Structure 1
Amino acid sequence: MSAPESLADLIEQVHIGQHGEEITDAVVSVGFLTQQGVRHASRNTSYRNHVLSLRVADAVGSCAVEPGQLTEDVVLDCVGNPVAELLRHPSTAVRVTALDAYLQSVRPHHQHAEEVVVGRGTSLQKSLHRAKLVVDLLPPVRRVLVIGVVNSLLYHLRERGTGYVACDYKGGQTEWGEPVHTDALSALADCDAVLTSGMVLSNGTFQPLLEQARATGKPLVFFAQTGSGILPRFLGAGVTAVSAEPYPFFWLDAGPSSLYRYPGEDAA
């Protein structure tokens, strides 16, 4: 089976049974929205996350969305519906979440990736630990384009002496007063690698990033709560490495939590 060319191509592969005949019987049994706000102790900035999650068999798929983007009715309409039907849903977030859940159900992370435990701790301790595990997937480079600003990731890049350009649709500033750019694609040329949230799957920037990585060979590394089961399917076909973090995420509990690393050959 050839690697998918795009997210739409992967969905078509799933529809015709190239990723398991289970697609004919796969149904969403549970759907929910998680709304989170955080401001770590000693940090000056706060942020929030809204995440759609759907359960298929023994797996939960997720997709981060903008606050207010999805209503409870959309979530409830997914419950009891076949995955094959939801892969044609008009909402990109629903399509991504259903695909994520299905792919995790047929190819569980624990059978194919390195499971790493983020230890018990405060919200800041867990954020920093998780960020280090993610940054370790990057090869040594001069400057990284970081899409989806997480200050703990920037902290570890600063500790390494690695330059970065911070990008997020929300704009604003980093914890260190640096401007956050809103146009990630315009910053690609001056960066040697990309470290990005899986949320690009739902906001329209995944395909340009993938094509740029294929054309230039620049490393493309994901930290994926959104689409953790989707992005490993592009490894070796534009994607260099993935930190896959399915629900429940590290920020939901003070206790230990797991993420699954699919490292590239040149990771530090």
Structure 2
Amino acid sequence: MFDDLVARVRAGALGPDPGTQHIAVAFTTRQAVRHAGRGTSYRNEVLSLRLAEAVGSCAVEPGELPDSALDDCVGADVARLLEHPLLPVRVAALDAYLMHVGPHTPENGARPIALPAGSSLEKSRARARSVVELLDLPAGATVLVVGVVNSLLEALRSRGLGYVPCDLKGGGTEWGEPVLGDALAAAGRCDALLVSGMTLGNGTFEPLREHALRHGKQLVMFAQTGSAVLPHFLGHGVSAVCAEPYPFFWLDGGPGIIHRYGAGGGGR
């Protein structure tokens, strides 16, 4: 499905010839965070590409993106980058292109949600509530969470929902629960899926989408990676998307905006 979307872009089916669209700026954002009152810390790294007014992004494992990737992207046309050997580069380029031709606006099916100013933890919790509201589940249901964010787990707990936390890095949650490394193996015992857009960049998204489609389960995406890409999968396994384009909530203490798709709203 991802490859089909890339093929449509390359064919000019969604906008101008990507061979005529050039990336002006390529940059990475690296973050380490430990919210006040929390006992665990984590790191993020994100590749972002600027196309005209749009910024497309893809998270990567910290330290894994070679410096040469930025040089490959600057000045390159999108068509060329959609063939880049690194999947995160292809995802970021696709995201930038789709953000450029179809920004997050009500006309394109997006519903803006204001995030209030506040501390990193306050903003994380506000985003988490907006994401979890996209799940239509009774108390007692179990959610597969792929890409562990403790504020999301906290929001699920507040709604009386169980969860199975999964992340390729493994480890544990803020509450000492084990984090599983194989999300697909755990999906069968869950009623719905809550999945990070980062799965686009590490190649694990498609099996999860197929599982949700095959079993008729809700699949809600929370997307800093591929925020303009994932709304194109609504109705094709994805039931809702919380899209958060650059700059992300953790970069600034001021107010911000995220965009929700699906779950009774519109879509691409």
Into which bin does the TM-score normalised by the smaller protein fall? over 0.9
1:178 & 1:158 partners in 2: Cα distance? Answer: 13
1:193-233 CA distance string (max 9 Å, x none): 00010011111211111111111110010000000010000
Pick the aligned partner of 1:129 from 109, 126, 129: 126
Q: Equivalent residue of 2:59, what SS?
A: strand
2:237 matches 1:238: yes
State how 1:67-146 maps to structure 2 within 5 Å: 67-110=62-105, 111-112=107-108, 113-141=110-138, 142-146=141-145
1:63 & 1:94 partners in 2: Cα distance? Answer: 7
1:12-47 CA distance string (max 9 Å, x none): 110001111242421101100000000000000000
Q: Which residue of 2 aligns with 1:17?
A: 12
Q: Which residue of 1 aligns with 2:147?
A: 148
Higher mean displacement: 109-118 or 123-132:
109-118
1:221-254 CA distance string (max 9 Å, x none): 0000000010000101111000000000000000
Opposite residue 191 of structure 1, the aligned amino acid is C
CA contact (8 A) 2:19 2:80 kept: no
1:163 & 1:214 partners in 2: Cα distance? Answer: 21
Q: Equivalent residue of 2:49, what SS?
A: strand
Q: Which residue of 2 aligns with 1:187?
A: 186
CA contact (8 A) 2:31 2:44 kept: yes
1:60 & 1:186 partners in 2: Cα distance? Answer: 34
Instruction: Give runs of ≥4 in structure 1 deviating > 6 Å.
Output: none
1:139-168 CA distance string (max 9 Å, x none): 114100000000000001001110000001
1:154 & 1:19 partners in 2: Cα distance? Answer: 36
Note the C-alpha offset of 1:172. 1.0
Opposite residue 256 of structure 1, the aligned amino acid is P
CA contact (8 A) 2:197 2:226 kept: yes
Opposite residue 232 of structure 1, the aligned amino acid is P
- Listed as ranges, the gaps of 5+ residues in structure 1 are 1-5
Opposite residue 140 of structure 1, the aligned amino acid is L
1:115-161 CA distance string (max 9 Å, x none): 11111000100000010001001111410000000000000100111
TM norm structure 1: 0.95
RMSD across aligned positions (CA): 1.1
Note the C-alpha offset of 1:68. 1.3
Q: Equivalent residue of 1:41, what SS?
A: coil
Q: Equivalent residue of 1:49, what SS?
A: strand
- Listed as ranges, the gaps of 5+ residues in structure 2 are none
1:19 & 1:95 partners in 2: Cα distance? Answer: 17
1:265 & 1:139 partners in 2: Cα distance? Answer: 11
CA contact (8 A) 2:221 2:242 kept: yes
CA contact (8 A) 2:55 2:245 kept: yes
1:173 & 1:128 partners in 2: Cα distance? Answer: 19
Opposite residue 172 of structure 1, the aligned amino acid is G
CA contact (8 A) 2:49 2:93 kept: yes
2:208 & 2:218 partners in 1: Cα distance? Answer: 10
Opposite residue 252 of structure 2, the aligned amino acid is D
Q: What percent of counterpart residues are identical?
A: 58
Opposite residue 260 of structure 2, the aligned amino acid is R
Q: Equivalent residue of 1:96, what SS?
A: helix
